[in-house]
C-alpha cells in the first residue's frame, strides 16, 4: 500500500470503498427514477397522440379531467376519453413507479377499484356513459410483479374487476438511439387483460404494439413536463434549472438574485400550462413540489435563504456550472448529501448515552442514626 493510500484510509473526510459503493447505488437509483418519470411524461402524451391521431371514434376529453363518483367523490384519472358516440368511456391511469413492497403494491392495485364504478361529468353538465374501461399504464421495470399481483388479487371478491373484460395493463419500451444506425422510438404494448373497445384492441394487439417514432417522441417531450403523480425531487430540481433559472444565467446583470417562491410558481404556470380542457386552474407543477426542490438546493448549498424572508431565495450566478447533463450533476450532489445524512444517523444511533456521575456517597457520622 502506498503512503498516499494509507493517508486516504486515515482521513475521515475521504470516502472509503463502502462509502463509494453507497454513493454509486444512490446515484444510479436517482438517475433511474429521473428517467422513469421523464419517460412516463412522454408516454402520457404518447397516449394522447395515439387517441387523437390513430384511433377513430375516440374523443379526447382531457388530462386530469374531473369525474364524479356515485358517492359524490371527485376523481381525477390521468387521461379521460369518450368513445362509441359518447356512449362509452375510457380511463388511462399512469404510474411512473410502483412500490416494491408487496403490501404497498397491493394497496396501489386495490385503489384502482374507484375508477371502475359508475361516474358522471364526462363532459360539463353531468354527462354519463353506459360503461367505461380502465387501462393501467406502468413502467416496464414494474410490469412483471404488477401482473403477478393483479392475478393474485383478481381471485378476491374486492378486486374481481381485474379479471373482467374492461381492464387492461399496458407498458412501454423506449429504444435508445444508437449513433446514426437507430433512432429513438417508443412502443406501447399490452401486458395483461383487454378492453371492450375493438378499435383500441386492434391497435394495441398489432405485432410490436403501438409505435411512436422519434420525431413525435421529441415533440411530446417538449409538450408536457409533469404528470399528476408527484415527481422525484431531482426531476423538479432539473426542470427549475433548465427552464426557470436559465434566463438569469444567459446574460447576467448581477452576480446573484433574490427570487420569491411566488414568482417561480407563476413562471411554472406560464411555461407548463394545464392540459385540462375545462378547468384551467389545474396546473402541471404543484407549489409544494417547487418548495421541496428549492429546499433541497439549499441543503446542497447551491442556493441560499434570505433572513427574515422565508419565501425568498438567494440565487447565485452561475447556479450550477457543468458540462454534464444537469440531472446527473444533481444526482451526484444528492448522493453525497445522502451519505452525510446516513453517517449522521448512524452516529446518533451508535453514540453511547452519557452516564451522569452522582459523585462519592456521603457517609453520615454514627451519632446521626441515634437522633430522635
**Grid cell at residue 112:** 384502482
pLDDT tens digits in sequence order for the chain, 372 residues long: 444 444 444 445 555 667 788 888 999 999 999 988 888 888 888 888 888 888 888 988 888 888 999 899 999 898 999 999 899 999 999 998 899 999 999 999 999 999 999 999 998 777 899 999 999 999 888 999 999 999 999 999 999 999 999 999 999 888 776 666 667 788 999 999 999 999 999 999 999 899 888 888 877 777 778 887 889 999 999 999 988 888 777 666 778 888 999 999 988 887 876 654 444 344 578 889 999 999 999 999 999 998 888 899 999 888 888 888 999 999 999 999 998 888 888 777 766 666 665 555 555 555 554 555
Q: How many CA atoms lie within 13 A of 100 on its CB side?
A: 1
3-state per-residue secondary structure call for the chain: CCHHHHHHHHCCCCCCHHHHHHHHHHHHHHHHHHHHHHHHHHHHHHHHHHHHHCCCCEEEEEECCCEEECCCCEECCCEEEEECCCCEEEEEEEECCCCCCHHHHHHHHHHHHHHCCCEECCCCCCCCCCEEEEEEEECHHHHHHHHHHHHHHCCCCCCHHHHCCCEEEEEEEEECCECCCECCEEEEEEEEEECCCHHHHHHHCCCCCEEECHHHHHHHHCCCCCCCCCCCHHHHHHHHHHHHCHHHHHCCCCCEEEEEHHHHHHHHHHHCCCCCCCCCCCCCCCHHHHHHHHHHHHHCCCCEEECCEEEEEEEECCCCCCCCCHHHHHHHHHHHHHHHHHHHHHHHHHCCCCCCCCCCCCCCCHHHHHCC
Q: pLDDT value at position 280?
A: 38
With CA atoms as reference, report the closest residue to 260 among 299, 291, 233, 225. 291
Q: pLDDT value at position 182?
A: 64
With CA atoms as reference, report the closest residue to 192 among 212, 230, 163, 218. 163
Q: pLDDT value at position 22?
A: 83
**Residue 206, number of CB atoms within 10 A of its CB:** 11
Q: pLDDT value at position 9?
A: 47
With CA atoms as reference, report the closest residue to 240 among 205, 197, 285, 210. 285
Q: How far is CA 228 from the centre of its chain?
A: 9
Q: pLDDT value at position 252?
A: 62
Full-model pTM: 0.75
d(CA 72, CA 242): 41
Cell 454509486 found at: 24
Amino acid at each position: 500500500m502506498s503512503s498516499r493510500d494509507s493517508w486516504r484510509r486515515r482521513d475521515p473526510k475521504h470516502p472509503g470503498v463502502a462509502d463509494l459503493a453507497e454513493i454509486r447505488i444512490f446515484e444510479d437509483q436517482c438517475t433511474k427514477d429521473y428517467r422513469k418519470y421523464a419517460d412516463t411524461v412522454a408516454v402520457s402524451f404518447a397516449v394522447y397522440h395515439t387517441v387523437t391521431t390513430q384511433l377513430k371514434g375516440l374523443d379526447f376529453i382531457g388530462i386530469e379531467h374531473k369525474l364524479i363518483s356515485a358517492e359524490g367523490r371527485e376523481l381525477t384519472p390521468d387521461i379521460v376519453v369518450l368513445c362509441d358516440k359518447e356512449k362509452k368511456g375510457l380511463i388511462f391511469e399512469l404510474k411512473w413507479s410502483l412500490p416494491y413492497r408487496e403490501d404497498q403494491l397491493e394497496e396501489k392495485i386495490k385503489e384502482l377499484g374507484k375508477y371502475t364504478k359508475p361516474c358522471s361529468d364526462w363532459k360539463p353538465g353531468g354527462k354519463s356513459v353506459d360503461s367505461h374501461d380502465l387501462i393501467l399504464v406502468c413502467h416496464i421495470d414494474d410490469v412483471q410483479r404488477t401482473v403477478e399481483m393483479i392475478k393474485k388479487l383478481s381471485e378476491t371478491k374486492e378486486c374481481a374487476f381485474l379479471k373482467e373484460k374492461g381492464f387492461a395493463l399496458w407498458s412501454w419500451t423506449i429504444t435508445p438511439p444508437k449513433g446514426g444506425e437507430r433512432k429513438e422510438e417508443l412502443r406501447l404494448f399490452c401486458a395483461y387483460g383487454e378492453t371492450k373497445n375493438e378499435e383500441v384492441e386492434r391497435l394495441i394487439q398489432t405485432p410490436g404494439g403501438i409505435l411512436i417514432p422519434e420525431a413525435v417522441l421529441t415533440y411530446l417531450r417538449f409538450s408536457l413536463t409533469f404528470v399528476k403523480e408527484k415527481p422525484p425531487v431531482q426531476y423538479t430540481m432539473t426542470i427549475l434549472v433548465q427552464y426557470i433559472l436559465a434566463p438569469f444565467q444567459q446574460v447576467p446583470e448581477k452576480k446573484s438574485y433574490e427570487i420569491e417562491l411566488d414568482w417561480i410558481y407563476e413562471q411554472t404556470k406560464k411555461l407548463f400550462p394545464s392540459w385540462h380542457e375545462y378547468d384551467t386552474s389545474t396546473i402541471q407543477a404543484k407549489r409544494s413540489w417547487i418548495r421541496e426542490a428549492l429546499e433541497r438546493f439549499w441543503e446542497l448549498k447551491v442556493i441560499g435563504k434570505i433572513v427574515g424572508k422565508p419565501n425568498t431565495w438567494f440565487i447565485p450566478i452561475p447556479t450550477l456550472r457543468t458540462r454534464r447533463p444537469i440531472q446527473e450533476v444533481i444526482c451526484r450532489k444528492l448522493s453525497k448529501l445522502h451519505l452525510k445524512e446516513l453517517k449522521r444517523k448512524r452516529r446518533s444511533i451508535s453514540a453511547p448515552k452519557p452516564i451522569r456521575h452522582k459523585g462519592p456517597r456521603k457517609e453520615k457520622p454514627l451519632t446521626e442514626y441515634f437522633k430522635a
